[in-house]
Structure 1
């Protein structure tokens, strides 16, 4: 099993105001063809717009326009990658991209993506266990995974802040491959 912990930091544009207000960290691991990721968001959650859990979670687009936990997977050396969007409401999507921001298509291997969300006034925990995309199940691809973990947090006033393990550009850009800085082998 390959496993690593992560801590997300806000992009510089929102850093001073929100860095002391929230902590966002977790762990990601891969065992054979199964990926597991957990996020833990702590802080003044009443100051965030966090949707209530849906009784019927759906595959949806544009989840990143509100509070959304995300991660990106790629095999080292390959230009294609996968984007996972997880709303605290339970809504989700997984996309495959051919190269940087091109060829976006829903990953057909996923028909549903159930994950657990536990929340109170000061903490939100999200846990997902799922199969890797079929193209990453090969021994070569799975042995060299690069991961970018990120999040969008929406304040109760509607302002968005962008969080990631690393922010390689002057603007928030979760698709930037230098942001895929976690290695799982």
Structure 2
């Protein structure tokens, strides 16, 4: 599973490593797996809740994926909390035209936690998000935000753009999923 890089402006005192993986299933779903290694007890993890849309999940520990069709300017963002809450947004361009997507997307989120590791699994129906996403070539940005009990935040991604942490930046869409062909 590819390791995510901690942004140099926000080092973590509690996470040793973070990794993430994304694959497309044969039926057009996006399967995501995030693994957070370190002092999980010192991470600010939201308690379990009913699966539902959450608000401002990025203010606490959460896993994120940014999805866009190759060559397109618009994109979608998903936030997954270890609580089971999730949020989804649609953008027409870089941080533009955002709208919160509705509960019909209903991604599946599961979490496993042990002493030194937290695993979050998510499954998103790409056809519900945008029919071309189910089979077309995609660019993804995989990211994790970790909030520590002392209030410190660290930002992890496959690739960081220059400057402050910015998962929306085009350079952060570093993972490519090939077009599905029959």
State the TM-score, normalized to the length of structure 1: 0.88
Indicate yes or no: 2:33 matched with 1:35.
no
Root mean square deviation of aligned Cα: 1.9
Q: Tell me, in whole angstroms, the C-alpha distance in 2 between the residues paired with 1:11 and 1:97.
A: 24
Change (3 A) 1:105 1:125: same
Trace 1:1-185 onto structure 2 (pairs within 5 A). 5-15=1-11, 17-18=12-13, 21-31=15-25, 32-54=27-49, 56-108=50-102, 110-134=104-128, 136-138=130-132, 142-185=135-178
Q: Is the 8 Å Cα contact of residues 141 and 167 (structure 2) preserved in structure 1?
A: yes
Q: Tell me, in whole angstroms, the C-alpha distance in 2 between the residues paired with 1:53 and 1:21.
A: 21
Deviation, structure 1 residue 47: 1.6
Q: Tell me, in whole angstroms, the C-alpha distance in 2 between the residues paired with 1:78 and 1:118.
A: 35
Structure 2: any 5+ residue segments left out of the alignment? none
Q: Tell me, in whole angstroms, the C-alpha distance in 2 between the residues paired with 1:108 and 1:91.
A: 13
Q: Tell me, in whole angstroms, the C-alpha distance in 1 between the residues paired with 2:145 and 2:104.
A: 23
Q: Tell me, in whole angstroms, the C-alpha distance in 2 between the residues paired with 1:159 and 1:26.
A: 21
SS in structure 1 opposite 2:63? strand
Q: Is the 8 Å Cα contact of residues 75 and 142 (structure 1) preserved in structure 2?
A: no
Deviation, structure 1 residue 39: 0.7
Change (3 A) 1:11 1:133: farther
SS in structure 1 opposite 2:58? helix
Task: State the aligned residue count.
Answer: 177
